[in-house]
Each structure stands twice: as structure tokens, then as C-alpha cells.
Structure 1
Amino acid sequence: MAAPTTPPIFDGHNDVLSKLAATHPCDAVASFRANAHQAIDLRRARLGGFAGGFFAVWVPSPSLSLDQPTSGAEFNIPLPPEVRQVDALPAAMKQVAILLDLERAGCLAIATSVAAIEEAMTVGRLAAALHIEGAEAIDADLDVLDVLHAAGLRSLGPVWSRPNRFGHGVPFRFPSTPDTGPGLTGDGKRLVDRCNALGIMVDLSHITEQGFWDVAARTTKPLVATHSNAHALCPTARNLTDRQLDAIAESHGMVGVNFATAFLREDGRMAADVPMETILAHFDHLIGRLGEDGVGLGSDYDGALVPRELTGVEGLTTLRQAMLDHGYGEELMEKLCYRNWLRVLRKTWGG
């Protein structure tokens, strides 16, 4: 029996834009159509029933090294300093331009409404929600935010791990709680307010625990972490505690399960030998805290080492089969694969 390619999957996070900008800036469209060295391309998307998701813009740090231990040892990776806005803006604009090129070439549709996502899924075209992971490219006056919103931006994480003018992110630290430092700055609070006004979803993945509570106290929208896992199962600084999960549940928000092995494994190792049972344990824990309407996928494809069976989006068929074998029924499968994302986006974007 063939592995299932349905329900279609709308995913909470990928980094293919930053990968294309780094490796194929001049032929990004051709690379996106077919490239065995990317987790996401059109050929593999069709094989895996990948319908789209949040396409992230992420600005790298020149001196950054994310070499994590593979032996299960404790680690605390030093993070680079803040990237200046004047340096971050060109890098971010390059990635947005790649996304626009992909749309012009007919590879995908930039979706700014739930109706647009549903239409793209109906006609078999990838739906791309533009996301920013770390707001370094945005100025203090938030003028760039308004311009990006006009270009299609509908989701934003105020911070990646390094600090910026808007707040502080969690480091790559294991074992550790996410309570690693300060939260939002004054500019960060204004950013959240402006995102609420524009209908831009605020993403809580990678922010410190204090920043999480700062956003929770300020936002008028559901709390969402696009690609995070359960701290109770993997005690890394990047995962969410049960108290945070309960706050997300109370807001009728959601969490996308991250495939990054270092955020799945009990030992925090960056190693690809992760069985499907480990991923399903995170699904089970999150469903237990958030309910069946509060969990989706947030793969981190093209931005992290993922389990060997899920190396590319064609492997999503394996995940679906594992979920079915685990006892997830048809209705729950549809919620986890795409319906829960559409639900929370209706509450955030409207329509």
C-alpha cells in the first residue's frame, strides 16, 4: 500500500528562502523547482502532499556557528551580537524578492488570507505565508513593517535567538528552561501593538519566557508558537514549558511541532536517528495540554537537522502513516495537517 499523501500539509515554518539566498541567489527559481540538496522543492512537495506554509525570512550572523554536541553532553552555544538594521535590511529584502520571483514564476502563491490559502490548495499550487524570523530588518519607527505588510507579510517572530532592538531570544542551551533573560523592550511592545493592528501574527518561537509573558499580556490575538516542542520531553531552552502551553490553550492559540532533532530528543542531541515515536510523543503531549484544535506542524525544513525519515517534504508520507498507525483518526489528522492553522489564522488575520 502506498504511503498517504493526504490530508494536505500546511506547515508552520521553513527556511527555504534563506537557503536559496545563501546557495542559489541567481537561479533561485530553478533551484526551487528541483534540487535534491533542499528539503523543499516543487518535485518533492508533490510527492509528499506538501501544500505550503510559512516561508521565513531569516538574517544570518557572519560569525554564527551552531555546532551542537552529538554525544548528549550539556551545551551552551555563545550567540553573536545584534545585527544592525542597516545590515539586516538588504539581506531580508533579498529573500522577500526571491519569494516574489517564485510567485511570478508560478511556483507558489503568496497568501494573505485564509481564502487565498484554500484557493491555492484547491488548484494544487503551493500557498506561501510570508514570515519574518527575527525583526532585525525593521526600524524603530516601524516604517519597514508597514512596507513588508504591503508586500504580503502576515507573520512575525520579534526575535530569533540573538538580541535585537525589540527583545531577547533564548540561546541554544541544554538543559535549560526558556527563562534565560529579559523579554520585550519598549520598541518590542510597540511592534506587538502594530502587528495586532495590521493583522500580522506574532510568533512566540525562540523568545525568552519573559518575552512570552510580555507578549501574552499585550496581544489581543491567540498565542502562537509556529515551531516549538514540549520542554517536558526535551528540556532545551527553545521548548515550551507546560505553563506556557496552558497559556496558549487558554488563548485558543496553537503550536507547530518542530522536526529539529535537538528539540525532539530527550538528550538534546543533534543526531538524525530519531524514531517516529519520539515525534508522536511531542504531538501527544501538546494535544494533552492544548487540545486537538491547538496543534499543527512546524517542521523547520531547510533550517535544521531533522529525523532521517523526514529529510525532505516527500517524507511527510511517512509521518502521516506513523500518525495513522498511532491511532489518530481522520478528523484529527486533518486538524493536525492543516485545519488548525487555518483556524488560528482566521482569528488572527480575519476572513
Structure 2
Amino acid sequence: MLKKFLFLILLIAIGTAGFGFWSYQQASQFTEQQVVLDKAQLIEVKPGTSYRKLIRQFEQSGWITDTKWARFTHKLSPELTEIKAGTYWVEPNQSLASVLTQLKSGKEHQFSITFVEGSRFSEWLQQLEQAPYLDHELSDLSEKEIAKKLGIDRPKLEGLFLAETYHYTAGMSDFDILDRSHNALVSVLETEWGTKSANLPLKSSYEALILASIIEKETAIDSERERVSSVFVNRLKRGMRLQTDPTVIYGMGDKYDGNIRKKDLRTPTAYNTYTINGLPPTPIAMAGPASIKAALHPETSRYLYFVADGTGGHKFTKSLVEHNKAVRAYLRTLRN
């Protein structure tokens, strides 16, 4: 009798172990199944979302099957159920375990926004308005109100942000981006100002930023920036007007139609460096680190003029006679 009883216990133990092993396999297969997606996409996990609620959402979306085994994950792999709210990028053919591990890590998808050197603040606001998954706190604010919110003691924000690529996660705001960009600008400007070349005709780091914005608009060629800077520095030292077209265009505002005429060069504005002495009152665009560095570390030269050479670069000259010759050569290149 005892033998039969022991044999029965053994059978039950074997059956229990077998069932346990089979259940473990089923639960493992559940977490190892592929999440069915046609293409990579963002998955948003809202605050307060539980593991079971998430699994139901996945099932209802047709991404996974056999959710009856989901409850065993708590016992077999409890770490996979500790999901965190956020926005995550999921690739096709990822396993459910891989996705859950991703959601547990809290490493949200990084979006990026790139502000191009030479662009204007108005263009930045448009980019920010169109940026996905970004909270818009500045939409209804004027430029002065934005400046106040950012703690910037200037009514005009042109040039006060560093043109670069910035990364953000869902839920960050346009204010966060601008605040970070302004701080980056201040850091670069202070560093370059602290090591600036001697005898520059610049009274402040803000004037350096104005010059950097002009350099940014005049050339996109890295090897030319310091030479372009030297032309403007040499002219400032001699008391010559800068006579740079981008300042004329900026001063024209909405009146600019893509062409600059002789009357535009003669029409005074606060920014027209054909009619004013020295630098314009504010930057005319956003500058990148290279142009800021060039403004404060110009090439040592005697150049006073430059004009496009028709091949994407510029011809630099030391006298008006040489400059006029270079202009005629440029016009011939255009005609040909």
C-alpha cells in the first residue's frame, strides 16, 4: 500500500514538473515571439500604463498573440514587467522580450532638430512649430516675451542661439530647445572671446557675434571664414564701411524680392552697411561655432575686398583697382 502511495506521489511530482516545464516553455515562447510590425514605428507608453494593459494594447493592435501566458512573465521574468512611460522606437521583427527590455530601460527615442548656420530666428520658430512630439510653449508669445521667458536682456533675439543639431525626447518643449541653444551660444562665445586675437576693433563679445553672423552669410566655405573675417576687421580698423550685401538684405525685410538694386544699396536702414559706419546694431543671422571662431581669430592679411569667383568661392584683393578687375572677371564668368 505504501509503495502504491509513494508511486502515486512520484507520478504527481513528475506530472507537476512536466506541467511546470511545459508552462515555462509556453511562457518563454510568449516573450520570445516577434512583435508583428510592417515598419519601424514609435510606441508611446503613457504614465500609469501597467504591464498587463500594455500587453492588451499590443494584442488588440495585432502585434502579438497568445496573451494568456502573459501572467507567467511576472514570475519567470519579473524584470520584463517593470516598464517605464515614454516614447520608444521599435523595429520590425524585434522579440517581445526585446521590446519590454527597451521599455524597462527608459531610454526614450531621441528626436533631432537641425538649425542651419545663417538661418534667422523667424525660421527657427517655424521649425520648432513643425517639430514632432515637442510641446509648444512659445507659439503665442512675441519676441520680447520669449526673450523675457529665456532671461535674455535684449528685445531682439537674432543671432543669440547656436546653429547646431539638438536632440530631444517626446514631451520636451520649444522653450527647452531654445534655452539649451542659447546656453551653448554663450559657452562658445565666452570661450572664443577669452582667447581672441589681439587688437581687434570689437568692443564686446556681442559685436563679435554680429561680425560672426555676417561671416556666416558671406561664405559657407570653412577655409574662407578667417580670410573673410580679416577683410571686415581690416575695414573696421581703417574706418571703411563694411559694404556687405547680406546686411542690406536683412535691413530690407519683407521688401527683399531676391534682387538687390543700386537704389537698395543707397537706401538707408539701420542695417545697411553701405550707408552706416561700423557694424549693424544686431546680428543678422544665427552663427555656428566656426564663424564665431573666425570673427575672433581672423587671418592676418591686407585684404580689403572680396567678390564671388563664379566657382563657389571668392577672390580676395587688397585694392579697389584689383577688386574692380575681379568683379569684371566674375561678370564675364556669369555671361559665359
Normalised-by-shorter TM-score class? under 0.3
Asked which structure has the greater CA Rg, the reply is 2
Calculate the TM-score normalised by the size of structure 2: 0.23
More helix by percentage: 2
More strand by percentage: 1
- Structure number with greater CO (CA < 8 Å, separation at least 6) is 1
